[in-house]
């Protein structure tokens, strides 16, 4: 009996110890903010709630991202019943542009030493190349800036952070270090590493909940395979390459019917490129110039202009590629290391591959009965409209003629009508 009581007491102690170990969920965001990131964060908040975690820690290092995805993430933060801690780390990390909005929207904002936050001014495609005031593009830029200022102001006010600095991060692209951010009350604390962060979070009250994070078990939530794939896909370079594959595949299938593989690959690439075009800020003018370039390449095949149209196509393709994404924003800048080789390869593809294929289709027939048209041969029998016989290329053929032709007379084959040859006297 005594032994039983001792075992029961030990079991209760062990159970209490197990129960006492709290859990903290962790995710790591390293890269641009996009739809896959928003989906990942939203799912992680739900998982953290299911795990009854003390909080969700988001280790963040980002150069920025899409406004739509940022808004989705902010909404997830503000509607979360689980405290969300954004930790700008590791040392040297940044939370710029969209990252600034996300950090300020967190329940607790933390930074590692030697990290930076800010530069949240929105960048749009297009521009006013001729100068002047209050052009349509300028109006849209002003509207976007005003919206971004009011949006970050509302977030900072909700989280009781420095509203004036938050607004300057949008209007003036202000950027500050971790120490300055703590001083200006942009963030709540600075932690060297995750362990120290959890120690500083311990005992902090968030929305009426006292965090118990000291010594908590860290449970990292990984990206799902689909999220990882789409996180890698939504890049300007990927869309550009997919667009080229779609062009090569579909046009290759049209010029060589029955190949099947180029067409299938091209259609798949086209669907993926259209999906990315709906996500990424694509410039319609750039797309139009690339389409014009393809038309010029094809026209030059049918109407040779000694390379004039091809050169125009190369220039149009190059300019269109440069304008396809916003080069003012490093996040959506398409590198020249992609554009120049793609321009040269596309020009060569149309000139040497598609050009030769289309010209080959216009050449005279070199095989079959049609190759006999124009050849001359002596008749074996008299030939008239009712028929006659000739021998050509090792075979006997029925032959007809509009005018009577004598036996042994040299005739020229004018047409092939099934198994009968229509002939005429040479020179007729």
* Residue 370 scores a pLDDT above 70: no
- pLDDT score for 375: 80
- pLDDT score for 328: 58
Between helix 308-324 and helix 336-348 the angle, nearest 10°, is: 150
Contact 240, 290 (CB under 8 A): no
* Residue 34 scores a pLDDT above 60: yes
- pLDDT score for 105: 94
Element (H, E) at 85: strand 84-88
Structure tokens at 267: 């259609």
More confident residue, 427 or 223: 223
Q: CB-hemisphere CA count at 13 Å for 162?
A: 19
- Rounded to an integer, the average pLDDT of 332-340 is 78
Where do the structural domains in the chain lie, given as residue ranges?
A: 20-228, 235-362, 369-425
Write the burial class of residue 261 (CB in 10 Å: 0-12 exposed, 13-18 middle, 19+ buried): exposed
- Rounded to an integer, the average pLDDT of 158-179 is 92
Q: Cα angle at 299 between 296 and 301, to 5 degrees? A: 115
Structure tokens at 120: 């949240």
Which residue in the block uniquely carries the two structure tokens 């006292």? 210
71-106: per-residue pLDDT in tens? 999 999 999 999 999 999 999 999 998 899 999 999
- pLDDT score for 10: 58
Cis check for the bond before 90: say yes or no (omega within 30 of 0).
yes
Dihedral of alpha carbons 404, 409, 413, 414, sign:
negative
Quote the CA–CA distance of 157 and 33 in Å, as a whole number: 23
Least confident of 53-62, 67-76, 128-137, 300-309: 128-137
For the domain made up of 369-425, the CATH class stated in words is: mainly beta
* Residue 126 scores a pLDDT above 70: no
* Residue 124 scores a pLDDT above 60: no
Quote the CA–CA distance of 120 and 18 in Å, as a whole number: 44
Q: Cα angle at 276 between 275 and 278, to 5 degrees? A: 70
Contact 343, 361 (CB under 8 A): no
Dihedral of alpha carbons 63, 69, 71, 74, sign:
negative
Quote the CA–CA distance of 1 and 368 in Å, as a whole number: 105
Q: For residue 16, what pLDDT band results from cuts at 50, 70 and 90?
A: very low
For the domain made up of 20-228, the CATH class stated in words is: alpha beta
The β-bridge partners of 55 are none
Dihedral of alpha carbons 237, 242, 245, 247, sign:
negative
* Residue 128 scores a pLDDT above 50: no
74-83 burial, b at 16+ Cβ within 10 Å, e below that, comes to bebbeebebb
Q: For residue 140, what pLDDT band results from cuts at 50, 70 and 90?
A: confident
Q: For residue 207, what pLDDT band results from cuts at 50, 70 and 90?
A: confident
Least confident of 46-60, 269-283, 319-333: 319-333
User: What is the average pLDDT score of the chain?
Assistant: 80
Q: Which whole-number Å values give the CA distances from 246 to 150, 241, 264, 290, in the listed order?
A: 41, 9, 9, 13
Helices then strands, counting H and E runs in the chain, come out as 15, 16
Structure tokens at 88: 């700008």
């Amino acid at each position: 009996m005594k032994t039983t009581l001792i075992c029961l007491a030990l079991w209760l102690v062990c159970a209490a110890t197990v129960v006492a170990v709290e859990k903290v969920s962790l995710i790591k965001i390293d890269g641009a903010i996009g739809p896959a990131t928003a989906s990942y964060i939203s799912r992680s908040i739900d998982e953290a709630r299911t795990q009854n975690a003390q909080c969700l820690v988001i280790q963040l290092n980002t150069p920025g991202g899409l406004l739509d995805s940022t808004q989705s993430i902010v909404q997830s933060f503000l509607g979360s019943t689980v405290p969300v801690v954004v930790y700008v780390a590791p040392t040297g990390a940044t939370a710029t542009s969209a990252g600034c909005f996300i950090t300020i929207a967190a329940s607790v904002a933390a930074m590692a030493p030697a990290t930076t936050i800010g530069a949240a001014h929105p960048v749009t495609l297009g521009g006013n190349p001729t100068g002047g005031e209050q052009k349509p593009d300028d109006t849209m830029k002003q509207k976007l800036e005003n919206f971004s200022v009011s949006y970050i102001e509302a977030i900072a006010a909700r989280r009781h952070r420095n509203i004036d600095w938050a607004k300057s991060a949008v209007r003036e692209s202000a950027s500050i270090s971790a120490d300055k951010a703590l001083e200006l009350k942009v963030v709540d604390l600075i932690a060297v590493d995750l362990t120290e962060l959890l120690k500083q979070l311990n005992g902090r009250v968030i929305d009426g909940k006292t965090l118990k994070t000291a010594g908590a078990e860290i449970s990292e939530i990984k990206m799902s395979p689909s999220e990882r794939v789409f996180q890698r896909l939504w890049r300007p370079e990927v869309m550009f390459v997919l667009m080229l594959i779609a062009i090569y595949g579909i046009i290759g299938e049209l010029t060589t019917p029955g190949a099947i593989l180029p067409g299938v690959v091209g259609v798949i690439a086209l669907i993926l490129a259209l999906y990315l075009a709906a996500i990424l800020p694509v410039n319609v003018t750039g797309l139009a110039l690339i389409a014009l370039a393809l038309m010029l390449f094809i026209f030059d095949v049918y109407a040779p202009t000694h390379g004039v149209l091809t050169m125009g196509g190369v220039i149009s393709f190059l300019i269109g590629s440069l304008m396809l994404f916003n080069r003012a924003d490093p996040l959506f800048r398409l590198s020249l290391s992609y554009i120049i080789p793609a321009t040269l390869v596309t020009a060569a593809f149309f000139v040497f591959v598609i050009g030769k294929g289309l010209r080959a289709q216009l050449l005279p027939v070199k095989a079959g009965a049609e190759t006999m048209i124009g050849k001359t041969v002596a008749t074996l029998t008299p030939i008239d409209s009712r028929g006659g016989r000739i021998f050509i290329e090792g075979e006997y053929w029925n032959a007809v003629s509009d005018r009577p032709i004598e036996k042994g007379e040299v005739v020229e084959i004018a047409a092939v009508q099934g198994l009968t040859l229509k002939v005429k006297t040479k020179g007729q």
